[in-house]
Structure 1
Amino acid sequence: MTALTVDGLSKTFDMHVLGDTQVVGLDDVSFDVREGEFLAVVGASGSGKSSLLKCLYRTYDPTGGRVVYHRNALVDSSSDNSSDNSSVDLASCDDQTVIGLRNTAIGYTSQFLDEIPRVPAVDVVSRPLREQGVPAEEARQRARELLSRLRLPEELWEAYPATFSGGERQRVNLAQALAPKPDLLLLDEPTSALDPDTRQAAIDLLREYLDADTTVIGVFHNTAVIEAVADRVVMLEDGQLQGVVPVDDYDGEVVR
């Protein structure tokens, strides 16, 4: 079953400081993602990897194309944004629908943790669970379990992430995205700042989410991580799709 259909997705940026020059971030990108699949996105810097994830999450409004999410139980059947009650075009649906999906079905983690100051790490991670109605202590216990699995020292759980190292902040960021067990999980370089042992712990955790049928689309630079978790690899160059190949056929050449 298809979980996500990306069809002709394009994103153009208007650079007003450069005399309204237009920069192409994505150019007519199309691919499907199967339910429960782990799709890795690779390419050189500036190839459109992060722009792709931000368009899927609707942090960016796409310039053109469709992003059809096939497991949406929130869309009203009378809405003009979908042909039925089981799919929605994330590229064109209203903001309320996007927010609803973010709260219940679609998770995202960027490269950098951006949280309210003076909030302990355990509360940062438990926040999305509490927003879904999970009792506070149950949510905090789930957060502790994830932080432990990602090898964040216990003495940091009640500390503020603003004081953490890059790798520590990245672990909090990943734990926060994993906590609610989203149906679709978007990851933007979630292991780039981790040491080898912690990276392996993150890989083991991500594999568990695959076993739970979570569909994952992740940007990665580390070939070993891609080989360990991905089913297929999306290759981008200058905003254009170069191909989608099984991970066994991926040679790692465009990871840089």
Structure 2
Amino acid sequence: MTVRKALALVIGAVVCTGLLGTGCGRPPGTSSLDSQTPGTSASGPVSPRPAPPRAFPRPLPGLGPTTRARVPDATRQVLVVTGATETSSRARVVLYEQRPARGWRAVAGPWPAHNGLRGWTDDHWAGDLHTPTGVFRLSDAGGRLPDPGTRLPYDQDPEFAVSGTGHLGEPLEGSFDYVIAIDYNRVPGTTPLDKTRPLGEDRGGGVWIHVDHDGPTNACVSLSEEHMRTLLTTLDPDKEPVVVMGPESVLAQ
């Protein structure tokens, strides 16, 4: 063997050894990862990517399970009136709507409001100056002023006029320019002026949401005239609206 041939053999052996160290012998276009078992990596099995967190419909804020259970299944609008304490005559009002898959969302408010002079009760009697606690339908409206565009049945009538002064000496004039009847001890589907009392006269009645007169009420809930117009034009009888009202501690039960 000549020196030239021996040198060629040595060079060839070195080149081949280098190629084997860098993947020599695998088909073109492949890498060391191509030969691994699916679902594994060079360091071991690959964990599956975690599923995104599941979204749950949002419940009505501030209401506990007992109170939520009293809201009719078909209801998709809820006006929540919350007093700070059982004796508070001031309240906070928020209107919620139920959206498919998303749950309840606020669509109006929070608004300041007044309620009965002596606060709240779950055992309302005529003249006790408390606002009844509970869940009540909102089915009829009316007022001294023309219908602002509500979808509720609306009775414009001069009989909604009121005069005199409230518990703090504030004028009551204009308080019934807009009203929404709360279906406590009344016949739904009638004007708020209807005086029929299914539970008896001694259990009170005429509990409305009406225009605020800057003071506590006998038993009603009162909002500013602007907020009354907004509420009247937002409530939809097809969504079977209700009011849920009472002190915070009771509504949270």
TM-score (ref. length: structure 2): 0.23
More helix by share: 1
Relative contact order higher in (CA < 8 Å, ≥ 6 apart): 1
TM-score (ref. length: structure 1): 0.23
